[in-house]
């Protein structure tokens, strides 16, 4: 039996919904480009996915698609309640951003979202704010970590299971997800700081 990495499984599940370019996959899954290209090459070699068109898009082979869809019916034992807050100077921009994020959460194959409730937009001191909350469930603890990193809730109430074991590979995958996300944020902050420093020097 072929052993797939967690990232390869995530790629396959993303491609179940629709074909993607490598850039779309990188943006959606947060996998570093070099690792993503390696995983795509392996999946093609195993005849699980294919690429075609211009720009090049990757798609999952029909037989594999059916297998992944069947897998989606498996129980999701990891459950949590999340609250995601948003704030903006523009009311319409805030409403659209929250609507887009909820749509993405609903269509995300790694998580099942239920009981989604949106709060009203309120204004205070020139800023608009709102939030939504949802019950989410995943198949693995690593997928739950992905939900937290990808959707950035301000509050998480972990509900089930009360006790569980995490294997070495899953723990490593979850820690790599955290490390990659922090690395991306640090890079963004450093670039912003450099631009601010350059603007300060130019002003002087």
Rounded to whole angstroms, the maximal C-alpha distance in the chain is 65
- Contact of 46 with 2, CB cutoff 8 Å: yes
Give the model's pLDDT for residue 66.
63
Domain residue ranges of the chain, discontinuous segments joined by +: 6-71, 78-160
Predicted confidence pLDDT, tens digits, the chain (204 residues): 456 777 888 888 788 778 889 999 988 888 899 999 999 999 998 888 999 888 899 998 876 666 655 555 557 899 999 999 999 999 999 999 999 999 889 888 889 998 999 999 999 988 999 999 999 999 899 999 999 998 999 999 999 999 988 888 888 888 888 888 888 888 888 888 887 776 665 544
Strands 78-88, 57-60: pairing kind: unpaired
Q: What is the C-alpha to C-alpha distance for residues 8 and 171, in angstroms, rounded to an integer?
A: 16
Q: Does domain 78-160 have CATH number 3.40.50.150?
A: no
So what's the pLDDT on residue 67?
Answer: 61
Q: What is the pLDDT of residue 199?
A: 64
Same fold: 6-71 with 78-160? no
pLDDT at residue 68, as a whole number: 59
Q: Domain 6-71 class?
A: mainly alpha
> Pick from 51, 71, 53: which is nearest to 61 by CA?
51
Using an 8 Å Cβ cutoff, are 57 and 99 in contact? Answer: no
């Amino acid at each position: 039996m072929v052993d797939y990495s967690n990232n390869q499984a995530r790629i396959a599940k993303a491609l179940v919904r629709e074909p993607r370019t490598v850039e779309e996959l990188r943006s959606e899954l947060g996998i570093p480009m070099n690792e993503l290209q390696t995983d795509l090459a392996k999946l093609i070699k195993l005849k699980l996915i294919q690429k075609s068109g211009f720009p090049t898009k990757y798609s999952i082979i029909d037989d594999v698609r059916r297998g992944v869809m069947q897998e989606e019916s498996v129980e999701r034992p990891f459950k949590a309640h999340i609250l995601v807050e948003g704030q903006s100077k523009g009311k319409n921009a805030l409403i659209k951003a929250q609507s887009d994020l909820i749509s993405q959460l609903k269509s995300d194959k790694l998580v099942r979202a239920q009981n989604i409730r949106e709060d009203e937009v309120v204004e205070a001191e020139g800023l608009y704010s709102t939030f939504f909350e949802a019950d989410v469930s995943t198949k693995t603890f690593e997928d739950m970590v992905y939900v937290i990193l990808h959707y950035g809730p301000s509050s998480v109430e972990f509900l089930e299971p009360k006790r569980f074991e995490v294997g070495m590979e899953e723990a490593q995958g979850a820690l790599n997800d955290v490390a990659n996300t922090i690395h991306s944020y640090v890079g963004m902050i450093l670039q912003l700081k450099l631009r601010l420093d350059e603007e300060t020097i130019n002003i002087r």
